[in-house]
Structure 1
Amino acid sequence: MATAEGYLRRLTRRLTEAPEQLDVEELSDEAASTGAQKAIDCQRGQEVTMVGTLRSVECNGKGCAGGVKAELFDGTDTVMLVWLGQRRIPGIESGRTLKVHGRVGKLDNGSKAIYNPHYEIQK
């Protein structure tokens, strides 16, 4: 009987909760199930593996000579991924789910960043 109650509780929650909140929870659960660190817990200088979805991808500087920047969101926080010297990276586009590995740094504005991360496209 407990499983039926749990199912009804999850169903009710799915029907009544905002879609954005469900997406956040699903991303966070997916990242946790892979053993990846949560972005919110990562500190500067730490070597990390994260899983998340790219919210935005853009070129940096004149003609993209400054590199490609992508905002990775894992359900807890965002981390900017920066590939220096790249104009375009095949497969790196908004909406993609990535597994990334690298050392956490900071951008000039103080937000978390990983420069030239190793990555795997997940879906």
Structure 2
Amino acid sequence: MTGLETRSVSRDSLFLLANVRVEQETEQHRVRVRNLSDGGMMGEGTMRVKRGNRVEVELRNIGKIDGSVAWVQDQRFGIAFDEEVDSQRARAPQAEVNTAAIVNSGPSYAHRAPPQPDASSLRKV
């Protein structure tokens, strides 16, 4: 890896816990949030997710956010939020945060995971 940062969106390294629920499942999973930006997060945990899974994430001081799994590697995974949030709110102690709703600037299509490829169009090797 080089020292050059190629991301177009800044992110914060931090250690938080979040609840993640995969769409159409009732069970919530507790995961570690390793990186958080306004458009998504990197989580770590033993839950099984696949790229493209729709998820609901519950973050401290922010609430519930819908998104999709953008990538998976071992026990780490990236989630692209459907709408941008104020990621700095998650860092603040709960007593300092007022009860305002999530700050949305509209859908964030720049962070959305691409759709799964059509299996019939894939070449077998």
Which bin holds the TM-score, normalised by the shorter protein?
Answer: under 0.3
TM-score, length of structure 1 as denominator length? 0.27
- Structure richer in helix, relative to its length: 1
TM-score, length of structure 2 as denominator length? 0.27
